[in-house]
Structure 1
């Protein structure tokens, strides 16, 4: 094993330990001491690779983003020939599937609270920059679909694609959260599953941005 491979293995072992603790104990309750013990390294070794617990959280989010992007690309290939609104619906379905298949990654990504320091100049952090780049890649997929829908005459041209994407993203996250934490309530009192709630909500979102007459043009 060359030195580079050994360094990569140690780095991944530390991320694995952090991920296990963040998902089992919670990010706030996990410490760098905990991570060092879980990884079977000294805290000094952990700090040689990562400068903070937050940087490790970015690394965990990076794993989640990569998984989500892989799913979006795989499912997107199946709907390449569909109009933009159909592809947007497929994208939403993939988000839902991701939240079901990888709930811990979903929570890590969508529960992260951005701090002011994340955007200050002069504080380089490769993990943070890569994490935000992956997030922007996904956001770019969403805005791209909205622009294509406008070109196809499906979505309203008076809407700003970026601002509309932010609203759709925010609404999706809100519905995701509600459908998860209130799943038993909605199922027992309204006979509505989390999947049905999300699908119905997203259909309302799509209709709100469609041209009059709605749907893809014939």
Structure 2
């Protein structure tokens, strides 16, 4: 049985406290306005302590976002089990994304901000880790699409990876716009948010389904 020392447990707990504090500050203040000083105050550590664990703000941001994608994958894996065909599993992935969006709207916004963050040399390892987890998400979707192609429930006339990336981009863009202006949009057109979201997920999935 593997055991870790008390010192290592304390180190892990301290790192988790820093990540939790960073997540809270990033969500509250936004990435640009957040500072290591604010994060240090939130977790009641010194800035010096933060820099013992993370090279800079970018490094800490990627850590928070990587944890978000890890959680998203957990949502995917749970919902996949509820489908029998490739198409059903793909549809369940869409609704898993919706559940994640509802449960972690703040994290979702941070995950979508990654394109605006300028990476520094000190954060290269975290950036590689981030790319690895996002690749895992794409691979999960692609695997389901290939399964659907084989069982005859998903179109075979479109390249799997093109279909994967297009689906991800469309769904991410939809929820991003929903997070930015959804309430105003729903109110203006007197829409039920739940029904509107389900309609859009089903519409996207229907474009992928193989027609009999």
Farther-moved stretch of structure 1 (181-190 vs 202-211): 181-190
> Is 1:49 aligned to 2:48, yes or no?
no
Aligned to 2:153, the other structure's residue is in SS state coil
> 1:130 corresponds to which residue?
129
Farther-moved stretch of structure 1 (1-10 vs 99-108): 1-10
TM-score normalised by L of structure 2: 0.86
2: distance between equivalents of 1:117 and 1:186? 34
Aligned to 1:113, the other structure's residue is in SS state helix
Farther-moved stretch of structure 1 (26-35 vs 8-17): 8-17
Task: Check 1:43–1:185 CA distance in 2 against 1; reply closer, same or farther (3 A cut).
Answer: closer
8 A Cα contact 2:56 2:123, kept in partner: no
Farther-moved stretch of structure 1 (152-161 vs 125-134): 125-134
> Is 1:61 aligned to 2:65, yes or no?
yes
2: distance between equivalents of 1:27 and 1:134? 20
Alignment counterpart, residue 16 of structure 2, candidates 3, 9, 12: 12
Q: Which runs of 5+ in 2 are unaligned?
A: none
> 1:106 corresponds to which residue?
108
Return the structure number with greater relative CO, CA threshold 8 A, min gap 6. Answer: 2
TM-score normalised by L of structure 1: 0.84
Misfit runs of 4+, over 6 Å: none
1:6-26 Cα deviation digits (max 9, x unpaired) = 222222222122112111111
> 2:200 corresponds to which residue?
201
User: Which structure's residues are more often helix, by fraction?
Assistant: 2
1: distance between equivalents of 2:124 and 2:149? 37
2: distance between equivalents of 1:74 and 1:207? 22
Q: Which runs of 5+ in 1 are unaligned?
A: 214-218
2: distance between equivalents of 1:8 and 1:74? 27
1: distance between equivalents of 2:19 and 2:123? 19
1:1-218 equivalence runs, <5 A: 2-79=6-83, 82-113=84-115, 117=119, 125-213=124-212
Task: Check 1:164–1:192 CA distance in 2 against 1; reply closer, same or farther (3 A cut).
Answer: same
Count of residue pairs brought into register by the alignment: 208
8 A Cα contact 2:58 2:119, kept in partner: no
8 A Cα contact 1:15 1:56, kept in partner: yes
CA RMSD in angstroms, aligned pairs only: 2.3
